[in-house]
Amino acid sequence: MSRLRKLGFAAGFAAAASLALAGAAWTQPLERGTFHEEFTDVDDAFCDVAGLTVQEDVVVDGRFLVNPHGPDGLVYFMDSLHISRTFTNLDNGNAITAVERTLFKDLRVTDNGDGTLTVLVLGTGNSTAYGQDGKAIARNPGQLRFEVLVDHAGTPDDPSDDEFLDFLGFVKESTGRTDDFCDAIIPELTG
């Protein structure tokens, strides 16, 4: 399971990582695969608007890679996600969609020497919301970087027993255009 999923970013989001070299030769990945998830949620105060009841239907398709890297064999994660969301106003049936393609990748894993790892994660991609007519109404392309703290349970080169401890904060805030999705979506859903 990827570190990002342990963070509970779900929606999705799931977790960080990277293709890697150990020494001078390519190593075999510890794990790689694909996943598919679908879920539905109903929010009775969508975007903090009292009484605006919106159903969100989410489909997540992704690929992940878990690989050792460097002389210490510390493990790096990478997730590539495609997320589709449909937001439906349950009072009038108006609906919009949002599509996101995102890559989460560990850039640096540091053994802190106290039973923990500090992981620097890159998140990059594009998210676009589309109105009822199919035209883009909001966008959020760019990248960000953040750090997390992980307990490695005495095995820094084995992620199977790792436990997420803390989100340490953003190292680099989101770059690029950052539209307010609520400002764009609410008129489409209520109009």
The structural domain count of the chain equals 1
The whole-angstrom separation of Cα 122 and Cα 172 is: 9
**Number of C-alpha atoms within 13 angstroms, CB side, residue 173?**
2
Q: What angle do CA 65, 71, 64 make, to 5 degrees?
A: 5
Q: What pLDDT is attached to residue 23?
A: 35
Q: What pLDDT is attached to residue 175?
A: 86
Parent domain of 150:
3-190
Q: What pLDDT is attached to residue 71?
A: 86
- Helix or strand or coil: residue 152? coil
Query: In this structure, what token pair is assigned to residue 99?
Result: 């599509």
Q: What pLDDT is attached to residue 62?
A: 97
Chain segment 33-77, per-residue pLDDT in tens? 999 999 999 999 999 999 999 999 999 999 999 999 888 889 999
What does R_g of the chain's alpha carbons equal in angstroms? 19
The whole-angstrom separation of Cα 49 and Cα 55 is: 14
Name the stretches of the chain with pLDDT < 50.
1-26
